[in-house]
Amino acid sequence: MNKKELLKAKIAAMMALINTAKAAGRVFTADEDQQYAALDAEVKALQSQIDADEKQAAREAEIAALHAQYQTPVPVVAAGREQPGGGIIVGHNREADKPWASFGEQLAAVRAAAQPGGTVDPRLTTRAAASGLSESVPSDGGFLVQQDFSVELLKNAYDTGVLASKVQKIPLTTAANGLKINGVDESSRANGSRWGGIQSYWENEADQYTGTKPKFRQIELQLKKLTGLCYATDELLQDAAALETVIRQGFAEEFGFKIDDAIIRGTGAGQPLGILNSSGTVQVAAESGQAADTIKVENIIKMWSRCYGRARQNAAWYINQDIEPQLYTMSLAVGSGGVPVYMPANGVSGSPYSTLFGRPVIPLEQCDTLGNVGDIILGDLSQYVMIDKGSIKSDVSVHVRFVYDEQVFKFVYRADGQPVRNKALTPFKGSNTLSPFVTLAAR
């Protein structure tokens, strides 16, 4: 079994775990969660190996093509484009799949094609242009960015984004624009409410059975659109290496930032539904008489007590760094003295994250500032589901800003997401609701 076949098998195994849990109307068991995490790590490793193999194959093909070009040139008319003197622009056959050695090389070729009387690299016209526009005349149309570069941008976005890599992500097929997931509509663990309505009874002999049934709901996700547009000057385009660095790093970080921000505070209207706006998120009240812009140990204890028990093993604390001074000076009273509550994990040379109740405390710039709702969030992101098309669609136009000596690079990422639970859970005994996502009220 080659690497791609093995990758398909691993992905199929991950989907089987998701489908099994979905069919049973439940979240992963601890064992399933471990299996999924192991498969996810294997998929990422295999994808990295496949990407490396394909990049090396592309390099080898390009060098072979160049070698053949200078040994036995084969002229090719480039889409009939004529030079001012009546001659034609000629090119050479290139390896059809992934002909560009780098993103910067392709963008520099777009610039060259836009110049009056400039040469159109035949590799630009081997791929379809934007619908309804001429692919042979750069000033009238656009050139699509090679797909492997788009995929790398998405991978970088997930590497940059802290939250996006932790959610339950489901790639969609080419034809699909949304997904409906069936789930159990359960908001209470009281008798008659478990599984939305299932109940069992202790009966005497010959008693008539009492019928009950579960209640179901649908999680409906429809793709939303995140876009990026970049104007690049001719001067920048002259340096392919510099351009590639700017485009890759800038848009990878921006897409990663906006995805994470949507997971935190998305409105659900034209963007994913975020944790802070979900009706399934629990908000813990501030302490009576608590000073503004403070965090108290009682806040932390009560937030932890409201986190659904099964979610605790995967939960993490996400904080704005403004609250760190409060955490470091927080203590729990013991007799006439006290003990620190929050300390660096294993000292300065240990883990990069400190902990509260054994769960990591992760600084996140999308969290709100001290005193506002969202300055500290306790959450299990495996209980947030996200769909996407699997890659960023990207293309280039040389005509939008033609008179300004600028080219336009456009990136579009389609995704949607929301917390799995749409209601907080009332426990079997007790009145305080529970949730995989817990926040602290404004102070």
- Among all chains, which residue has been given the structure tokens 């059809």? 96
Residue 316, C-beta contacts closer than 8 angstroms, at least 6 positions apart = 359, 360, 361, 362, 378, 379, 380, 381
Inter-residue contact 123 to 100 (CB < 8 Å): yes
Inter-residue contact 352 to 396 (CB < 8 Å): no
Length of the chain: 443
pLDDT tens-digit profile of 171-194?
887 778 899 888 788 889 889 888
CA distance 138 to 180: 42
Residue 274, C-beta contacts closer than 8 angstroms, at least 6 positions apart = 261, 262, 263, 264, 265, 266, 267, 268
The pTM score is: 0.65
Inter-residue contact 248 to 156 (CB < 8 Å): yes
At residue 70 the predicted structure's pLDDT band, cuts being 50, 70 and 90, is: low
79: left (phi over 0), alpha (psi -120 to 50) or beta: left
- Residue 97, pLDDT above cutoff 70: no
**Bridge pairing between strands 178-184 and 406-419:** unpaired
Backbone φ and ψ for 26, nearest 5 degrees, come out as -145, 170
- Residue 54, pLDDT above cutoff 70: yes
At residue 300 the predicted structure's pLDDT band, cuts being 50, 70 and 90, is: very high
CA atoms within 13 A on the CB side of 341: 21
Q: Which residues of 68-107 are buried (b: 16+ CB within 10 A; e: fewer)?
A: eeeeeeeeeebbebeeeeeeebebbebeeebbbebbbbbb
Mean pLDDT (the chain, rounded): 79
C-alpha dihedral (295, 300, 303, 309), degrees to nearest 10: 160
pLDDT tens-digit profile of 183-226?
788 889 889 888 888 999 898 888 888 888 888 888 899 999 99
pLDDT tens-digit profile of 14-34?
888 888 888 887 888 888 888
CA distance 397 to 92: 24
- Among all chains, which residue has been given the structure tokens 């005349």? 137
CA distance 79 to 69: 19
Structure letter (DSSP) for residue 119:
-
Q: How many CB atoms lie within 10 A of CB 45?
A: 12
Q: Averaged over 142-171, what is the pLDDT?
A: 75
At residue 384 the predicted structure's pLDDT band, cuts being 50, 70 and 90, is: very high
pLDDT cut 70: percent of the chain above it: 74
CA atoms within 13 A on the CB side of 75: 6
Residue 42, C-beta contacts closer than 8 angstroms, at least 6 positions apart = 10
> What is the predicted pLDDT for the residue at 437?
98
Q: Which two tokens stand for residue 436?
A: 């995989």
Amino acid at 382: S
- Among all chains, which residue has been given the structure tokens 């692919």? 135
Closest residue by Cα to residue 255 from 411, 424, 402: 411
**Bridge pairing between strands 316-319 and 359-363:** parallel
